[in-house]
Structure 1
Amino acid sequence: MADAPEQTKTDYRPTVFLPKTDFPMKAGLPQKEPAIAARWESEGLYQQIRAAREGREKFIFHDGPPYANGDIHIGHALNHTLKDMVVRTQTLLGKDAPYVPGWDCHGLPIEWKVEEQYRKKKLNKDEVPAKEFRAECRAYAQHWVDVQREQLKRLGISAQWDKPYLTMAYFAEGTIVSELFKFAESGQLYRGAKPVMWSPVEKTALAEAEIEYEDITSTQIDVAFEIVESPIPELVGAHAVIWTTTPWTIPVNQGIAYGPDVEYGIYTWGVGGTDGSETSARAAHDIVAEAFPWLAEASGLVLASDLVSEVEKRLQKATASAGDVELILDSDGSTFKGSDLAGTFARHPMHKLGGFFAKPRPFLPGDFVTTDQGTGLVHMAPDHGEDDFELCKANGIDPVFAVDAGGMYRPDWAWLGGQGSVINAKFNAPDGPICSDLREAGALLASSADFVHSYPHSWRSKAKVIYRCTPQWFIAMDKPIAQFSPITRPEQRWENEGGGVNPVEDEPSSSPTLRDLAMRAIGQTRFVPEKGRNRLGSMVEGRPDWVISRQRAWGVPIALFVERKTGELLVDREVNQRIVEAITANGVDAWDPTNAAAFLGDARNPDDYEMVTDILDVWFDSGCTHVFTLESGHWPEERWPADLYLEGSDQHRGWFQSSLLESCGTRGRAPYDAVLTHGFTMDSKGMKMSKSLGNTVNPLDLMKEYGADILRLWALSVDFTEDHRIGKEILAGVADQYRKLRNTFRYLLGALDGFGEADRLTDVAAFPELERYMLHLTAELDAKIRQAVADFDFNTYVRALTDFCNEDLSAFYFDIRKDVLYCETNPQTGFETDKRRAYRTVLDTLFHSLVRWLAPVLVFTSEEVWGTRYPEAGSVHLLVWPEIPQVGADDMKWARLRELRASVTEAIEPMRRDKIVGSSLEAEVTLPDLPASPEELAELFIVSAVRQGDAFGVTKTENHKCGRCWRFLPEVKADGELDHRCEEVLNA
Structure 2
Amino acid sequence: TDDPASYLGDACVCPKCGGHHLKANSDILDVWWDSGVSHTAVCRHRDNLEFPADMYLEGSDQHRGWFMSSLMTSVGAYGVAPYKSVVSQGFTLDGQGRKMSKSLGNVIDPNKECDTRGADILRLWVTSVDTSNDIPCDGTILDHVGEAYRRFRNTLRFLLGEIEGQFDPATDAVPYDELLPYDKLTLARLCQVHDQVSAAYESYRFNVVYRTLYDYVITELSNGYLNATKDRVYCGEKNGFERRSALTVWAQILSMLVHDLQPILVYTTDEVMAYLPASLRDGQEYAALLDWYQAPWTAEEYEPYLAAYDAVVEARAAFTKAYEAAVADGTLTEKTTQAARATLTAPVELHDLLAGELGCDLAEPFVCSEVEFAQGEELACSVEPAHGEKCPRCWNFRELGEDGLCPRCHDAVAALEE
TM-score norm. by structure 2 comes to 0.83
Pairs within 5 Å for 1:202-241: none
Query: Cα distance, 1:739 vs. partner?
Result: 0.9
Task: Assess if the C-alpha contact under 8 Å between 1:944 and 1:968 holds in 2.
Answer: yes
The residue type equivalent to 2:337 in the other structure is S
Match of 1:622 in 2: 35
Cα distance in 2, alignment partners of residues 176 and 912 from structure 1: 80
Cα distance in 1, alignment partners of residues 255 and 88 from structure 2: 32
RMSD over aligned Cα atoms: 3.2
Q: Secondary structure at the match of 1:171?
A: coil
Q: Which of these residues, 866, 874, 884, is aligned with residue 285 of structure 2?
A: 874
Task: Assess if the C-alpha contact under 8 Å between 1:710 and 1:734 holds in 2.
Answer: yes
Q: Secondary structure at the match of 1:695?
A: coil
2:257 matches 1:850:
yes
Q: Which of these residues, 342, 356, 366, is aligned with residue 941 of structure 1?
A: 366
Match of 2:342 in 1: 925
Pairs within 5 Å for 1:824-839: 824-826=236-238, 832-839=239-246
- Of structures 1 and 2, the larger Rg is shown by 1
Q: Secondary structure at the match of 2:334?
A: coil
Pairs within 5 Å for 1:541-690: 577-579=20-22, 582-583=23-24, 615-633=28-46, 636-690=47-101
More deviation in 683-692 or 875-884? 683-692
Match of 2:409 in 1: 982
Cα distance in 2, alignment partners of residues 653 and 986 from structure 1: 71
Query: Cα distance, 1:838 vs. partner?
Result: 1.5
1:785–1:948 CA distance, 2 compared to 1 (3 A): closer
1:743–1:935 CA distance, 2 compared to 1 (3 A): same
1:176–1:697 CA distance, 2 compared to 1 (3 A): farther
Task: Assess if the C-alpha contact under 8 Å between 2:93 and 2:136 holds in 1.
Answer: yes
Match of 1:44 in 2: none
Cα distance in 2, alignment partners of residues 851 and 944 from structure 1: 34
Match of 2:187 in 1: 775
The residue type equivalent to 1:767 in the other structure is L
Match of 1:966 in 2: 395
Q: Secondary structure at the match of 1:869?
A: coil
Query: Cα distance, 1:650 vs. partner?
Result: 1.0
Cα distance in 1, alignment partners of residues 6 and 73 from structure 2: 10
Cα distance in 1, alignment partners of residues 255 and 37 from structure 2: 42
1:836–1:682 CA distance, 2 compared to 1 (3 A): same
Cα distance in 1, alignment partners of residues 233 and 17 from structure 2: 78
Task: Assess if the C-alpha contact under 8 Å between 1:867 and 1:873 holds in 2.
Answer: no
Greater helix content: 2
Q: Secondary structure at the match of 1:946?
A: strand
Task: Assess if the C-alpha contact under 8 Å between 1:961 and 1:977 holds in 2.
Answer: no
2:194 matches 1:785:
no
Q: Secondary structure at the match of 2:57?
A: strand
After superposition, the C-alpha distances for 1:739-783 in whole angstroms (9 at most, x for unaligned) are: 111111111111212212221112x22111111111111121122
1:623–1:681 CA distance, 2 compared to 1 (3 A): same
1:178–1:865 CA distance, 2 compared to 1 (3 A): same
Cα distance in 1, alignment partners of residues 59 and 5 from structure 2: 26
Cα distance in 2, alignment partners of residues 573 and 668 from structure 1: 32
After superposition, the C-alpha distances for 1:317-370 in whole angstroms (9 at most, x for unaligned) are: xxxxxxxxxxxxxxxxxxxxxxxxxxxxxxxxxxxxxxxxxxxxxxxxxxxxxx
1:176–1:702 CA distance, 2 compared to 1 (3 A): farther
Match of 2:2 in 1: 171
Match of 1:820 in 2: 232
2:131 matches 1:706:
no
Query: Cα distance, 1:630 vs. partner?
Result: 2.1
Cα distance in 1, alignment partners of residues 5 and 33 from structure 2: 11
Q: Secondary structure at the match of 1:676?
A: strand
1:836–1:776 CA distance, 2 compared to 1 (3 A): same
Match of 1:154 in 2: none
Query: Cα distance, 1:684 vs. partner?
Result: 2.1
Task: Assess if the C-alpha contact under 8 Å between 1:901 and 1:940 holds in 2.
Answer: yes
Query: Cα distance, 1:626 vs. partner?
Result: 2.6
Q: For structure 2, which runs of at least 5 residues remain unmatched after alignment? A: none
Query: Cα distance, 1:823 vs. partner?
Result: 1.2
After superposition, the C-alpha distances for 1:296-332 in whole angstroms (9 at most, x for unaligned) are: xxxxxxxxxxxxxxxxxxxxxxxxxxxxxxxxxxxxx
Q: Secondary structure at the match of 2:103?
A: coil
Query: Cα distance, 1:621 vs. partner?
Result: 3.6
Query: Cα distance, 1:573 vs. partner?
Result: 8.6
Match of 1:809 in 2: 221
Task: Assess if the C-alpha contact under 8 Å between 2:363 and 2:370 holds in 1.
Answer: yes
Task: Assess if the C-alpha contact under 8 Å between 1:175 and 1:627 holds in 2.
Answer: no
Cα distance in 1, alignment partners of residues 36 and 16 from structure 2: 22
Q: How many pairs align?
A: 391
After superposition, the C-alpha distances for 1:382-439 in whole angstroms (9 at most, x for unaligned) are: xxxxxxxxxxxxxxxxxxxxxxxxxxxxxxxxxxxxxxxxxxxxxxxxxxxxxxxxxx
Q: Secondary structure at the match of 2:21?
A: helix
Q: For structure 1, which runs of at least 5 residues remain unmatched after alignment? A: 1-169, 186-569, 589-613, 827-831
Pairs within 5 Å for 1:159-558: 170-171=1-2, 174=4
More deviation in 641-650 or 785-794? 785-794
The residue type equivalent to 2:294 in the other structure is E
1:576–1:805 CA distance, 2 compared to 1 (3 A): farther
Query: Cα distance, 1:869 vs. partner?
Result: 2.2
Match of 1:508 in 2: none
1:175–1:847 CA distance, 2 compared to 1 (3 A): farther
Pairs within 5 Å for 1:60-99: none
The residue type equivalent to 2:161 in the other structure is G
1:960–1:864 CA distance, 2 compared to 1 (3 A): same
Q: Secondary structure at the match of 1:939?
A: helix
Q: Secondary structure at the match of 2:362?
A: helix
2:248 matches 1:841:
yes
Pairs within 5 Å for 1:51-130: none
Cα distance in 2, alignment partners of residues 631 and 797 from structure 1: 33
Q: Secondary structure at the match of 1:868?
A: coil
Match of 1:900 in 2: 315
Cα distance in 2, alignment partners of residues 571 and 650 from structure 1: 40
1:639–1:892 CA distance, 2 compared to 1 (3 A): closer
Task: Assess if the C-alpha contact under 8 Å between 1:911 and 1:917 holds in 2.
Answer: no
Q: Secondary structure at the match of 1:839?
A: helix
Cα distance in 1, alignment partners of residues 315 and 288 from structure 2: 41
Task: Assess if the C-alpha contact under 8 Å between 2:7 and 2:45 holds in 1.
Answer: no
Cα distance in 1, alignment partners of residues 119 and 265 from structure 2: 8
Task: Assess if the C-alpha contact under 8 Å between 1:926 and 1:952 holds in 2.
Answer: yes
Cα distance in 2, alignment partners of residues 178 and 935 from structure 1: 70
Query: Cα distance, 1:863 vs. partner?
Result: 1.1
Higher relative contact order (CA 8 A, sep 6+): 1
Pairs within 5 Å for 1:146-157: none
Cα distance in 1, alignment partners of residues 101 and 16 from structure 2: 49
Greater strand content: 1
Cα distance in 1, alignment partners of residues 17 and 324 from structure 2: 86
